[in-house]
Amino acid sequence: MRIEKDTLGKVKLPDNVYYGAQTQRAVGNFPISGLRLPRQFIKAQGTVKLAAARANGSLGLLSKKILRAIEKASIEVINGTHDRHFVVDVYQAGAGTSQNMNANEVIANRAIEMLGGQKGDYKLVHPNDHVNMAQSTNDTIPSSIYISSFEAVRDDLIPALKTLRGALISKSGEFDKIVKAGRTHMQDAVPIRLGQEFSGYAESVNNDLLRLQNASKSLLNLPIGGNALGTGINAHPGFKNSIIKEIREITGINFKSCKNLFEGIQNIYPALELSAALRGIAVTLTKIANDIRLLSSGPRTGFAEIKLPAVQPGSSIMPGKVNPVMAEMLNMVCFQVMGNDTAVSYAAQASQLELNVMMPVIAHNLLFSIEILSNGINAFTKKCVTGIEADAAKCNDYAEATLAMATALNPLVGYTAAAEVSKQAYETGKTVRQIAVEDGILNREDASRILDPNKLTGK
C-alpha cells in the first residue's frame, strides 16, 4: 500500500495501481453499477492528454523531460496498456471530474515511473499542474466523447451499415422476378415483387447511413481550450489552436474548435444529435427485423414467403422448431438503443447555466449504442440476411390470391364494380381473375393480360 494526499487529506491505496487519491475516493464513493467507460473513451482521453502535453510543450510551458514522459504515458493509455487502471464507475461525480482525474493520475504516475521516481511523487509530474495543464474536466470530457464517438461510428457502425445495405441490395436483385402479394394494414394489397420489397429495406438503411454521416459532422467541433467555462482561464493564448492542431495530427481527423466555446461547454448537443441518428437507425432496423419475422413465419401456418438460415434450435420443448433468432436479437438491440437515446436526451436537457454535469452517462449510453448496433448489425447480416431464401411458388400463389388484384379493374368498370368482384372472390374462395371471367367482365385472354401480377408491379 501507499499513501497519497489530495486537497481533502490522506488516502491509502494499493501500491501497484497507477491511479491516485481522487480516483480512489471515487471508487469508494460510487460503487454503483460496476460499469466503466469503454476502451474507445479511454483512448480518446489519452489522445486529449497527449495533444495537451505537446501543445503546452510547444508553448514552452513544459520541460522537455516532463513532456517526453507524459507523451510516452499518454501513448500507452491510447494503446490500452493501462485500461485496468481506469476504474471509476459510469455513475460518478458530475461532469466526469473523477474520470478526468483518473486519466491525469494514471498518466502522471506512469510518467513518474519513467523518470525513475515512485508512484505518488508528484513533485516530478503532477496530475493537475502538468498532465491537466490548461485543461478542465469541462472541456476534456466532452472532447473525449466526441473523439471516441466519431471514431467508433467511422470504424464500426458505418462499415456495418454498408455491409447490411450491400446484402439487402444483393437480395433485392436475387428476388427481383418473384411476385407476391403486398400487404397494407396487414391485409391483402396489390402485387409487389419480393425484390422491390427488399429494395425498400436497402434504401431505408442507406438513408439512415446518410443521416448518421451528417450527424457525425457535428462531433468535429471540440470545446477543448475553453477550460472551465469557455474563457480559457490559465491557458496560454495559443493553447486552443495548438491543441486542436495536435489532436488532428494524432487522430488524422479534421477536428476544429467550437465556434463559441461557451455554448460548447454549456451544452452537449453533438452527442444529442448523434444519439437521435442512432435512434433512427434502431427504428429502421426494428421495422426490417419485424418484417423478416413475419415473412418467414410458419413454416406451415404463417406467411412462409422466405426461409431464414437455421442457426440454432428454437425450443426447449418443441422438437424441430427453428425461430428467427437473429431478427429477435436485432429487435432487442434496437429497443436498448431507443432506451439509451431517452437517457441521453434527459441528460442533455439537464444542462444548467455554464455546464452540463451529466456527461459520463451520456458517454456511456452513446458509445454503448454504437457498440451494440455495430455488433448486432454485423451478426444479423452474416447469420440471417445473406442466407435468406425465397419460396417463389408460395409468393406467386399469394400474388394470384390477393383480393386487391381487383384494383386493376378500376379503369375498366370503376371502383364500385371492382369492389363487388373482390367481394365475390372472397365469399367464393376464387381468385379475382376467375370472377372477372365468370362475370363476363374480361375474356380469358384479356384477364391473363390485365390481371397479370407481374405486370402490375411496374418496372
| Segment 156-187, tens digit of pLDDT | 999 999 999 999 999 999 999 999 999 999 99
Structure confidence by residue, pLDDT tens digits, 125-148: 999 999 999 999 999 999 999 999
Q: Which of 88, 128, 135 is nearest to 108 (CA)?
A: 128
Structure confidence by residue, pLDDT tens digits, 397-423: 999 999 999 999 999 999 999 999 999
Structural domain spans, the chain = 2-133, 139-228+256-392, 402-457
Phi and psi dihedrals of 119, rounded to 5?
Answer: -50, 140
Helix, coil or strand: residue 10 = strand
Given 58, 185, 216, 242, the catalytic residue: 185
What pLDDT is attached to residue 209?
A: 98
Q: Quickly count: other Cβ atoms within 10 Å of residue 424's Cβ.
A: 18
What pLDDT is attached to residue 427?
A: 96
d(CA 451, CA 439): 15
Degrees, nearest 5: CA angle 174-406-436: 115
Helix, coil or strand: residue 306 = strand
Q: β-strand 9-13 against 179-184: which pairing, if any?
A: unpaired
d(CA 323, CA 297): 9
d(CA 156, CA 194): 30
- Bridge partners of residue 13, in order along the sequence: 2
pTM of the model: 0.96
Length in residues, the chain: 459
What pLDDT is attached to residue 87?
A: 98
Q: What's the fold here for domain 402-457? A: Ribonucleotide Reductase Protein R1; domain 1 (1.10.40)
What pLDDT is attached to residue 459?
A: 78
Superfamily of domain 2-133: Fumarase/aspartase (N-terminal domain) (1.10.275.10)
What pLDDT is attached to residue 199?
A: 98
d(CA 135, CA 158): 32
Average pLDDT of the residues in 353-368: 98
d(CA 293, CA 333): 15
- Report the mean per-residue pLDDT for the chain: 97
What pLDDT is attached to residue 31?
A: 97
Residue 66 binned pLDDT confidence (cut-offs 50, 70, 90): very high
The three cell numbers of residue 258 are 467550437
Compute the half-sphere exposure of residue 252: CA atoms within 13 Å on the CB side of its CA: 2
Following DSSP, what letter does each residue of 168-236 receive, concatenated? HHHHHHHTTT-EEEEEETTEEEEEEEHHHHHHHHHHHHHHHHHHHHHHHHGGGEE-TT-TTTSS-TTS-
Degrees, nearest 5: CA angle 87-91-92: 70
CB 393, CB 302: distance < 8 Å? no
Average pLDDT of the residues in 26-45: 98
What pLDDT is attached to residue 370?
A: 98
Ramachandran assignment for 211, one of left (phi > 0), alpha (psi -120 to 50 degrees), beta (any other): alpha
Phi and psi dihedrals of 225, rounded to 5?
Answer: 105, -15
Degrees, nearest 5: CA angle 390-324-274: 100
What pLDDT is attached to residue 125?
A: 98
The three cell numbers of residue 60 are 514552452
CB 105, CB 20: distance < 8 Å? yes
Instruction: Evaluate if residue 2 carries a pLDDT over 90.
Output: yes
Question: Active-site residue 148, yes or no?
Answer: no
Instruction: Evaluate if residue 218 carries a pLDDT over 90.
Output: yes
Residue with cell 477543448: 224
Range 139-228+256-392: architecture per CATH: Up-down Bundle (1.20)
Ramachandran assignment for 11, one of left (phi > 0), alpha (psi -120 to 50 degrees), beta (any other): beta
Domain 139-228+256-392 and domain 402-457, same fold? Reply is no
Structure confidence by residue, pLDDT tens digits, 419-451: 999 999 999 999 999 999 999 999 999 999 999
Ramachandran assignment for 394, one of left (phi > 0), alpha (psi -120 to 50 degrees), beta (any other): alpha
d(CA 186, CA 183): 5
- What percent of the chain shows pLDDT beyond 90? 100
What pLDDT is attached to residue 223?
A: 98
Given 82, 199, 257, 315, the catalytic residue: 315
Residue with cell 510516452: 72
Residue 96 binned pLDDT confidence (cut-offs 50, 70, 90): very high
Phi and psi dihedrals of 378, rounded to 5?
Answer: -60, -45
Q: Which of 389, 379, 277, 279 is nearest to 329 (CA)?
A: 379
What pLDDT is attached to residue 178?
A: 98
Question: Active-site residue 185, yes or no?
Answer: yes
Q: β-strand 2-6 against 221-222: which pairing, if any?
A: unpaired
d(CA 247, CA 387): 43
What pLDDT is attached to residue 284?
A: 98
User: What b/e string do you get for 266-279 counting C-beta neighbours within 10 Å, with b at 16 or more?
Assistant: bbbebbbbbbebbb
Structure confidence by residue, pLDDT tens digits, 189-214: 999 999 999 999 999 999 999 999 99
Specify burial of residue 386 (Cβ count, 10 A radius: 0-12, 13-18, 19+): middle
- What percent of the chain shows pLDDT beyond 70? 100
CB 212, CB 112: distance < 8 Å? no
Structure confidence by residue, pLDDT tens digits, 258-309: 999 999 999 999 999 999 999 999 999 999 999 999 999 999 999 999 999 9
